[in-house]
Chains A and B, each alone.
Chain A
Amino acid sequence: SAVISQKPSRDICQRGTSLTIQCQVDSQVTMMFWYRQQPGQSLTLIATANQGSEATYESGFVIDKFPISRPNLTFSTLTVSNMSPEDSSIYLCSVDNWGEGYGYTFGSGTRLTVV
């Protein structure tokens, strides 16, 4: 299955600033997915990123707040913009290995704290 390198692993940011999270995959994948996991909660899908087209956002998430780039088939970034303490969460990227029967592979996550 695919291997994902996600950076940074954690960060503490001031409110009003932005943070860009990067995910690098060791193989080419059509779709990449971005999730948010608040402490003690389940994973919530933010958006689906396809190469060469705009990301598709889930209800409650907007491009101005969470702009996503997908410049090629192995890389994607998620930016958390104009942060507030409510954005404190773990952000994870993932890719599917369905063709190989291995489900989704996740990055190790970015633990974001906004102060």
Chain B
Amino acid sequence: GQQVMQIPQYQHVQEGEDFTTYCNSSTTLSNIQWYKQRPGGHPVFLIQLVKSGEVKKQKRLTFQFGEAKKNSSLHITATQTTDVGTYFCAVSTGNQFYFGTGTSLTVIP
């Protein structure tokens, strides 16, 4: 399957600080998806990016797809305790999606 690395692996932030996680692939991607998994929960779909350089926003979350379609980022502005969880990118090969290594976010109140 596809190999995608995410950095950082862990991130601790004070509530109100910003947070960014990066997803990197060695190959050009057709699209990329982002998921959030709360502690003890299952992954929940956040967004899909398809176009080179695409930027999408969901409230305090900003998702970006690189121009070369080999990397992507998720940025959270002014984190809140409800943002706690692990954020995964997922990339496709055919009909299957392969998940990145994930970034675990802890928000300190």
Contacts and interface: CB of A to CB of B under 8 A. Distances in A.
Contact of B88 (A33, A42, A107): A42
A96 B98 CA distance: 13
Contacts of B47: 103
A42 B45 contact: no
A102 B88 contact: no
A58 B43 contact: no
Interface string A82-115: 0000000000100011000111111111000000
- Determine the main DSSP class of B at the interface with A: strand
Interface in B43-100: 43-48, 88, 90, 95-100
A31 B97 CA distance: 12
A48 B46 CA distance: 22
Contacts of A58: 1, 96
Nearest to B2: A45
A104 B1 contact: no
Classify chain A's interface size. 20 to 34
Given A58-B1, A105-B45, A106-B44, 12 more contacts: A42-B88, A42-B101, A43-B99, A44-B99, A45-B1, A45-B96, A45-B98, A92-B43, A96-B97, A97-B45, A103-B33, A103-B46
Nearest to A48: B96
For B33, B42, B99, B100, the residue with the greatest tally of chain A CB atoms inside 10 Å of its CB is: B42
A41 B44 CA distance: 16
